[in-house]
Structure 1
Amino acid sequence: MHVPDDDDWLTDRRRAIGEHIRTTRTHRNMTREALHLAAGVSRWSLQEIEAGRGNPQLDTLLRIAAVLDVPLADLVR
């Protein structure tokens, strides 16, 4: 795979990951508040991740995936 010269693709991927998290959370009738508390992630961090901003750590994404009961691959696909 060739990595593009600019980083626009990273922004697009972060947005897609955030959308997958938000969609999965809402399909499970879970509030953002419930997810951030259960995952041990700050409210602000979860908000930023769902908005596709920032650069979440792998541990954070793993915690979110565990609480949502989905493989990490499903969230980052």
Structure 2
Amino acid sequence: MPTLPDDDDWLRRERLAIGDRIRVTRLRDNRTQESVFLAAGVSRSAYQAVEGGTADARISTLLRIAHVLGVHVTDLLHD
């Protein structure tokens, strides 16, 4: 079985990339973090952790954020 890179490094890079895509999409639409987390029904701290790439996000949270931003959730997961 192939060996994966160090899980912590790989996961950290992926979380940061997802957060960056959320931030870019939000800023492209000229929206504040507050407008997104309120419309998505998630807490400020949860949203900031996801956008900042410091925490794993539940799929339901990503789906809510994607819906508010008007994109498909896969747009947040892939380049």
Give the TM-score band, short-chain normalised. over 0.9
Percent of aligned pairs with the same residue?
49
Q: Name the residue aligned to 1:59.
A: 60
Q: Name the residue aligned to 2:48.
A: 47
Shifted more, 2-11 versus 24-33: the winner is 2-11
1:32 aligns with 2:33: yes
Alignment RMSD, CA only? 1.1
Task: Please state whether the residue corresponding to 2:68 is helix, strand or coil.
Answer: helix
Which runs of 5 or more structure 1 residues have no equivalent in the other structure? Answer: none
CA shift, 1:5, in A, is: 4.3
Which runs of 5 or more structure 2 residues have no equivalent in the other structure? Answer: none
In 1: Cα distance, 2:60 partner to 2:68 partner: 12
Q: How many residues align?
A: 76
Q: Name the residue aligned to 1:21.
A: 22
Q: TM-score, normalised by structure 2?
A: 0.91
**Amino acid in the other structure paired with 2:41:** G
In 2: Cα distance, 1:26 partner to 1:54 partner: 21
CA shift, 1:45, in A, is: 0.7
Q: Which runs of structure 1 show a deviation greater than 6 angstroms over 4 or more consecutive aligned residues?
A: none
